[in-house]
Structure 1
Amino acid sequence: MANSKKCVFCDIVNKVLVNGKETEILYEDETVVAFKDIKPATRHHYLVVPKEHLESPKTLTKDNLGLLNHMLEVGENVLVQQGFQSDNNKRFGYHWPPFNSISHLHMHALGNTEELGFFHKGMFMTGTPWFVSHQWLMTYIKQK
């Protein structure tokens, strides 16, 4: 269970009101929660967050590979459950420090990526120093 007192994602995991509102959890199990991004870049923009407070993708080890696989599976399922029906135009990734706005590991699950505006196309462009794909992260960790 998350335990950081100053982390908004830990608050969401612990069902604490954020900005006076309860976050609608779209999926929850013993290890992760998923919910809509507060500032969605597309119609289908969700976050998958581990309940354990892990600082960032940069700090992960091979011990975390199972968690990452589970996060991807949850992200895929949430996209489908929320009505996204294409195998194209989806993206799963992580902001890489220091370009992450919240220091709690979270995976972006984006559908309808053709809807990304100019700013968000850059923000969620994989292969950049600030946003890495799920697949890239898995390879990076395996090579550590």
Structure 2
Amino acid sequence: MPFSRCCGTTEEEQSSRSRSSSSSMDDCIFCLISNGEDEYTELVRENDDMVCFRDIYPAAPHHFLVIPRKHIKSCSSLTKKDAPLVQQMADMGRAALQDQGITDMQDIRIGFHQPPYISVDHLHLHVLAPASRIDDDMLYKFIRRTNRFISVSVVLAAIKKGEKIISC
């Protein structure tokens, strides 16, 4: 059975965990990364509340993930009080792109996948640039205005209104 370094489990176990409604923070790869416990992940930015690192399966020349240190299951778990965190995650993602010399902020894609389209049950923001160079085989995952991928602005608008983000 193939081994996935991403979660330290076999693909079958990873798939089963993704479908599970109860994910333990003890075995969450993103919790391990945010606590500095994954030796393979290099953080490109961090602060007290979140970390940013390169996606191990990049869909564009620059593909980062920004995750909160606090375990939040997904964008569907966000509430009004999380609005500042979401904005700070987006700001950190843009700053990581600027660190890499990306200046065209119109040719980026920033957003969240929502259940059931997530592979790790820990909130993570995808930051990709240039969006015009997203791999054709991966483009479907990052198309705006779909239930699969939603922008930061859509998430912020929903949670500020007190609406839950629910996939169809």
Taking structure 2 as the reference length, the TM-score comes to 0.79
Deviations 1:4-54 (A, max 9, x none): 11111011012123xxx4311011110000001111111111011000000
Q: Alpha-carbon deviations, 1:54-91, whole Å to 9, x = none?
A: 00001100000010111111011000002212122101
Q: Which of 49, 68, 75 lines up with 1:31 in the alignment?
A: 49
Determine if contact 1:62/1:142 at 8 Å carries over to the other structure. Answer: yes
Decide which of 106, 115, 119 is 1:88's aligned counterpart: 106
- Supply the distance in 2 between the matched residues of 1:23 and 1:93 (Cα, whole angstroms): 21
Identity %: 34
Q: What is the TM-score of this pair, normalised by structure 1? A: 0.92
Runs of 4+ in 1 over 2 A off after TM superposition: none
Query: How far apart, CA to CA, are the structure 2 residues paired with 1:119 and 1:53?
Result: 30
Give the match for residue 104 of structure 1. Answer: 122
How far did residue 114 of structure 1 move? 1.0
Code of the residue aligned with 1:16 in structure 2: it is: E
Cα separation, 2, equivalents of 1:38 and 1:31:
22
3-state SS of 1:5 partner: helix
- Cα separation, 2, equivalents of 1:90 and 1:106: 16
1:68 and 2:89 correspond: no
Q: Secondary structure at the match of 1:119?
A: coil
Distance 1:31 1:112 in 2: 26
Q: Is the counterpart of residue 4 in structure 1 residue 4 in structure 2?
A: no
Q: Distance in 2 between matches of 1:119 and 1:137?
A: 26
2:138: which partner in 1? 120
Q: Measure, in 2, the Cα distance between the counterparts of 1:77 and 1:11.
A: 23
| Structure 2, gaps ≥5 residues long | 1-23, 164-168
- Cα separation, 2, equivalents of 1:96 and 1:127: 12
Give the one of 51, 55, 60 matched to 1:42: 60
8 Å CA contact 1:9–1:104 kept in 2: the answer is yes
The structure whose Rg is larger is 2
RMSD (CA atoms): 1.2
